[in-house]
Amino acid sequence: AQSVTQLGSHVSVSEGALVLLRCNYSSSVPPYLFWYVQYPNQGLQLLLKYTTGATLVKGINGFEAEFKKSETSFHLTKPSAHMSDAAEYFCAVSRTGTASKLTFGTGTRLQVTL
Amino acid sequence: GAVVSQHPSWVICKSGTSVKIECRSLDFQATTMFWYRQFPKQSLMLMATSNEGSKATYEQGVEKDKFLINHASLTLSTLTVTSAHPEDSSFYICSARVPGQANTEAFFGQGTRLTVV
């Protein structure tokens, strides 16, 4: 079984400040890990993913995440927040395979203030 | 990236009627699609896995007779909410992966907001 825990349902940062969104996972097999962003009334857009290889993954819009097996974590960071980053962020895990379903965390709403 | 399109984007229906939501893969063939449901300010919950040419696989607790899924072609899956009730009001999202590509991401449709009145 797999599960994802996102700590903090709501995170608020100032524009230009560091963004840190936390994600911990549980998986009985090596996981594939994803971060998605969702804007209001829209579907999900992939920010980045970890499958194998380098544990520090860079994604779109300046976001990156580091897979830490020892900590079972995949935290999402961005050095400097922008107003346009305000959205809902979901961490997800899947088993290996081409048609594996995703298990999502409960989401973290990022607010960016002036 | 691959494109998944949902239609309609939003729909309002009367209680007791049925509503069909379409999910199309526009530039690839999807043997498997996934249907999710999202309640306000909550995460996405997988409802079912739609398999082309065969029956859908439903998650525990999802009524298969209420949420009918048909995946008749490699580019189209449909979700029909039968005899809809206000508690079925939700945001429904589909996704698909490009087959034959290991480690590939899932591409999501833009979602359908269903309101049952």
Cβ atoms of residues B80 and B72 within 8 Å: no
Please name the residues between 50 and 109 in chain A that touch chain B, using a CB distance below 8 Å. Answer: 51-52, 90, 96-99, 101-107, 109
As a dihedral over the C-alpha atoms of residue A3, residue B71, residue B26, residue A103, rounded to 10 degrees, the angle is: 0
Distance CA A29, CA A4 (A): 14
For residue A100, what pLDDT is reported? 67
Closest residue of chain B to A31, computed from CA coordinates? B103
Cβ atoms of residues A59 and A48 within 8 Å: yes
Give the pLDDT mean for B22-49.
Answer: 90
Q: What is the mean pLDDT of each run of 10 residues along chain A (114 residues)?
A: 90 97 90 91 88 92 95 97 96 72 91 96
Distance CA B111, CA A67 (A): 29
Each residue's pLDDT tens digit, B82-104: 999 999 999 999 998 777 665 56
How far is the CA of B47 from the CAs of A20, A67, B28, B34, B90, in angstroms?
Answer: 30, 28, 23, 8, 12
For residue A98, what pLDDT is reported? 43
**Residue that wins the pLDDT comparison between B16 and B51:** B16
Does B99 contact A99 at a Cβ distance shorter than 8 Å? yes
Does B43 contact A104 at a Cβ distance shorter than 8 Å? yes
Give the pLDDT mean for B25-48.
Answer: 89
In which residue are the tokens 């590939």 written? B104
Token pair for B63: 């009524």
Does A102 contact B6 at a Cβ distance shorter than 8 Å? no
Q: Which of B32, B103, B114 to mutate to test the interface with A (most CBs of A within 10 A)?
A: B103
For residue A27, what pLDDT is reported? 85
Q: By C-alpha distance, which of A84, A105, A71 is closest to B42?
A: A105
For residue A108, what pLDDT is reported? 96
Residues of A in contact with B53 (CB under 8 A): none
Distance CA A36, CA A71 (A): 21
Nearest to A102 among B41, B106, B110 (CB): B106
| Residue A8: other Cβ atoms inside 10 A | 13
- A85 backbone dihedrals φ, ψ, rounded to 5°: -80, -10
Give the pLDDT mean for B9-27.
Answer: 96
Residues of A in contact with B6 (CB under 8 A): 43
**Per-residue burial over A42-53, b = 16 or more CB atoms within 10 Å of its CB, e = otherwise:** bbbbbbbbbbee
For residue B61, what pLDDT is reported? 94
In which residue are the tokens 């579907």 written? A43
